[in-house]
Amino acid sequence: MSRELVAGQSGWGKSWLTQQRIEDNLPNFDAAVILDYKDEFRGLAKADMAKWAGIGHPEANLSVDGWLDLLRNNGVVIAARGVPADVWREEVASTVALAAQKHAGEVLVVVDEAHFVARMRKSTPKPVEELATTGRGQGVATIWVTQKIAKLDPTVSSQCDRQLLGGFLDPNDIGRVDDIVGYNGAVHNPRAAAPISGLPDGLGSKPLQETDPGSEWIYATREGKYQRIDSSTLSMESTHTGPEGSSLSIPK
């Protein structure tokens, strides 16, 4: 089982890549919950790969056993946020974290906009922290998705054994990349001047760039594997539509 971090600035194609990662990995799990902060993953439901559920205030009160029943009956659930961020964090994410760890099978939990759920310098709910730290031992894999890596609780980022990191312009985010992966984070700044020194073999010396129609990412593992990936070379069966009205495999 794995814990994966997908991070890139807004507009870098983070949600498309995350949907591709979800689709690619769903066959490996008995159940999955996608905590969809901005309602961006409906395409999986439209492709009959998941069931969509809007989470308003009544649904936010669903118990751990209620979530377990939901997973047993549906398998893959897209939980679309319809409540304020604090309710989403303290009630919905916390309960889902407990249910996933209690599930008898192998479960994938995807936490979109994870910096609102596990926040730097603020209280991360204990069940969410346990999901990040001990969930793997209970058969739970996680994908943590954020556009603000500098605001993500380091308890979460430090536990991720795989990272897919894209472009950032905020110096705070770039500095956080240095802390997480240990190489020169300047490669993640698309405006940086080449050549970039201090990079692992195989990554070249140019900063990441947006491509047409995708973007470049660096895939890194705790074991020291590094790979530059262009998301335009990846594919998926479902269509990524974005919000209405507006162990994990290696990426292939």
Give tens-digit pLDDT for 214-229.
999 999 999 999 999 9
Token duo for residue 38: 């901005």
Q: Are 210 and 233 in contact (CB under 8 A)?
A: no
pLDDT, tens digit, for every residue of 200-213? Answer: 998 999 999 999 89
pLDDT at 247: 54
pLDDT at 140: 96
Q: Are 163 and 7 in contact (CB under 8 A)?
A: yes
Whether the per-residue pLDDT at 238 is higher than 90: the answer is yes
pLDDT at 245: 41
pLDDT at 10: 94
Average pLDDT, integer, range 60-82: 97
Helix, strand, coil percentages for the chain (3-state, nearest 5)? 35, 20, 40
pLDDT at 120: 83
Q: Are 247 and 2 in contact (CB under 8 A)?
A: yes
226 C-beta neighbours (distance < 10 Å), count: 16
Helix axes 94-102, 126-133, angle to 10 degrees: 40
Whether the per-residue pLDDT at 248 is higher than 80: the answer is no
Whether the per-residue pLDDT at 249 is higher than 60: the answer is no
Residue 153 neighbours by CB under 8 Å, 6+ apart: 118, 119, 120, 122, 124, 129, 132
Average pLDDT, integer, range 13-24: 97
Query: What is d(CA 18, CA 8) in angstroms, rounded to the nearest whole number?
Result: 11
pLDDT at 178: 84
Average pLDDT, integer, range 65-79: 97
pLDDT at 244: 47
Whether the per-residue pLDDT at 1 is higher than 70: the answer is no
Average pLDDT, integer, range 12-33: 97
204 C-beta neighbours (distance < 10 Å), count: 12
Residue 20 neighbours by CB under 8 Å, 6+ apart: 231, 234, 235, 236, 251
pLDDT at 89: 97
Whether the per-residue pLDDT at 91 is higher than 90: the answer is yes
Nearest alpha-carbon partner for 39 in 245, 205, 234:
245
At residue 246 the predicted structure's pLDDT band, cuts being 50, 70 and 90, is very low
Which domains, from first to last, does the chain contain? Answer: 3-233 (3.40.50.300)
**DSSP reduced 3-state for 164:** strand
Whether the per-residue pLDDT at 185 is higher than 60: the answer is yes
pLDDT, tens digit, for every residue of 100-148? Answer: 999 999 999 999 999 999 998 778 999 999 999 998 888 999 999 999 9
Instruction: Give the amino acid at 169.
Output: L
**DSSP reduced 3-state for 4:** strand
Strand order in the sheet with 140-146: 51-55, 76-81, 31-36, 107-111, 140-146, 3-7, 162-165, 216-221, 226-230
87 C-beta neighbours (distance < 10 Å), count: 17
